[in-house]
Structure 1
């Protein structure tokens, strides 16, 4: 088949750019299709590389992927140093706080799950926690530490990936409307102007918009999960406010604060499925209220940005990742929900391995994109 490019990637968020860069690194010609790269969920993401503290009940099956991806991050970032863009990688670790009895029990239950999966999570005294983070408030009654958690700045990482992809590949700033097929073979991508980009392999990685593409051989049951997220600037007199990521359960409400090297703090994040991409006044109030329980000095910070973005969720909160059964030359990589930044290196490696005819990792069948077609 005559093609314009080896690999077409629909979607220029953190996942799509990661896949494109991995394919370029391995010698493939690549075109990314996105009208506004890195402007969706990537733009709002906090960037925690935290398999331990991000573990949720009934999501233990994701640990194989999240741990693998966290281990891949240093080499993945090293491949981008030539761009001159610092992606904000920090080995900060995470301190997790609880406040009332129910919070303490929930954290203890989570620690048991973490221990069962050999994750490094330590219960520490509040005195020790405050020795690491003196700004922790007096209302905290329990503390845990996940020393192996890290972080990146997703905006800076996306900028580095975009620079790399546009330097050694091609970016088409246009909307994709569907895939072109010849029977069971996907032959390329149709663009909004009616033109077709012919590709040897096509990867769909455009988040929620993937479900609306024409020509897909299966439905993609994606749902938007909206989240409010704030950015605050720390006055010079209070810097550094934090040296770790600080998370908490405040009377059952999860909240986190992620310090950046530029003197800002990311505060997040609410989760709602009300169908609104507008910032919620109640969500902003809840975040500021609960963050002040973690770190009372939050009230002295400058509020510089308030965002709401929709993250792509699936019925089982697991990604749609891999080949579509019964359809050649088509890969799906979406539905990453809270874990898009964390899973970028592994999603990239999995997709490029599959397009090169290599087997996927053990357990990948759990995430097959058309798993919901059979009910």
Structure 2
């Protein structure tokens, strides 16, 4: 094997995205993952790239906004290089408005979005009648519409990234020796390893269960109703998820908790009631103690780097995570927000 500038341990969304960003800047890269690309939670089915609410602005929300705005160019470049489709599209999102209090809050957020989102996306109140059959059940007959939310198919996005990387000579191997600079993007198991050598837990795994329906919604926006993401994909399916389980016996099995998710989705969105279920999926997402991504110098391995803790927002954060990590690893420029550093989870 030829020597490389960078070894990335972990072929989930953070590891693959960082490898892609570094490769595009001229670094030679090798990726190591015993399970292969997207073997963990990154190989899921939901893929809701949805922003935090536009209020109480902070560094995490600003970082996410920038990343969502980068997504079209990022995934367009990946798909062009791979010849595959990540399923990315920025199609927006709809949310039901439950009552007058929720309406007042939605209208206030519309005003703040105009400023915080810099005129590049909208948040507004519309009538459910404007949407037709795709509208979720709404007690007021009103919906929140935002144009910032996007979607992709996580499993296909990882496949597209892996193909783009290998097309440019990157090896993705189950085992190999570390060479050059080293990045650890090893998901929830990596967080557990940190915990073993830390005075208190730095993170944990949170299991999620989701379902995939055989329903072609075309280019309709995603929905967020009853705390569920309902995401139409380009391949004629609709994904629904997910649970959040801190305690679990099996990381990849589904059970009655998913049955409840399916029932709630069908209640909120009646057109799914007769749609066949194609897949029941479960996986464990990495959640840092700070609840933000954990980026920067590795807290326990001097001279090495870490990118972990994507939890539910990893795919939405990936373009910006890849950018700032490439800045740090290759150029020594540190633009990582304070709240994203490993120290925030100590």
TM class, shorter-chain normalised? 0.7 to 0.9
Return the match for 1:369 from 324, 342, 346.
Answer: 342
Q: Equivalent residue of 2:202, what SS?
A: coil
Which residue matches 1:160?
160
Equivalence for 2:221: 244
* Number of the residue aligned with 2:59: 61
1:197 equivalent among 178, 184, 198: 178
Partner of 1:231: 212
1:7 positional shift: 0.6
SS in 1 for 2:244: coil
Q: Return the offset for 1:218.
A: 6.0
Provide, for residues 279-331 of structure 1, a one-character-per-residue CA deviation record: whole Å limited to 9, x for no partner: 45332232222212322121110011011111111222111111246965311
TM-score after normalising by structure 1: 0.80
- 1:207 and 2:187 correspond: yes
Look up the match of 1:184.
none
Q: SS in structure 1 opposite 2:259?
A: helix
1:227-253 CA distance string (max 9 Å, x none): 11000102xxxx43771111113xxxx
What is the 5 A alignment of 1:77-156? Answer: 77-80=75-78, 81-99=80-98, 101=99, 105=101, 109=105, 112=108, 115-116=111-112, 118-119=116-117, 120-128=122-130, 132-136=131-135, 140-141=139-140, 142-156=142-156
Indicate the structure with greater strand content.
1
The separation in 1 between residues aligned to 2:136 and 2:315, in whole angstroms, is 29
Are 2:173 and 1:172 aligned? yes
C-alpha separation in 2, matches of 1:347 and 1:336: 10
Alignment of structure 1 residues 8-23 onto 2, 5 Å: 8-23=7-22
Gaps of 5+ in 1: 175-190
- Following TM superposition, by how much is the alpha carbon of 1:355 offset from its aligned partner in structure 2, in angstroms? 1.0
The correspondence for 1:316, drawn from 290, 301, 325, is: 290
The alpha carbon displacement at 1:106 in A equals 5.3
Confirm or deny: 8 A CA contact 1:329 1:355 kept in the other structure: no
Structure showing greater radius of gyration is 1
Q: Measured at CA, do residues 369 and 138 of structure 1 come closer, stay the same or move farther in structure 2, by a change above 3 Å?
A: closer
On the 8 A contact 2:290/2:339 being kept in 1, the answer is no
Using a 3 Å threshold, how does the CA distance of structure 1 residues 116 and 221 change in structure 2: closer, same or farther?
same
How many pairs align?
333
Report which stretch shifted further, 205-214 or 105-114: 105-114
Give 2:325's aligned residue: 351
* Structure 2 runs not aligned, ≥5 long: none
Provide the C-alpha distance between the structure 1 equivalents of 2:85 and 2:63, rounded to a whole number of angstroms: 25
Contact 1:137 1:293 survives alignment (8 Å): no
Q: 1:155 to 1:280 in 2, by over 3 A?
A: closer
Work out the CA distance in 1 between the residues paired with 2:108 and 2:73: 31
Please state how far the C-alpha of 1:162 moved relative to its aligned partner: 0.6
Calculate the aligned-residue CA RMSD, in Å: 2.9
Q: Report the Cα offset of residue 87 of structure 1.
A: 1.4
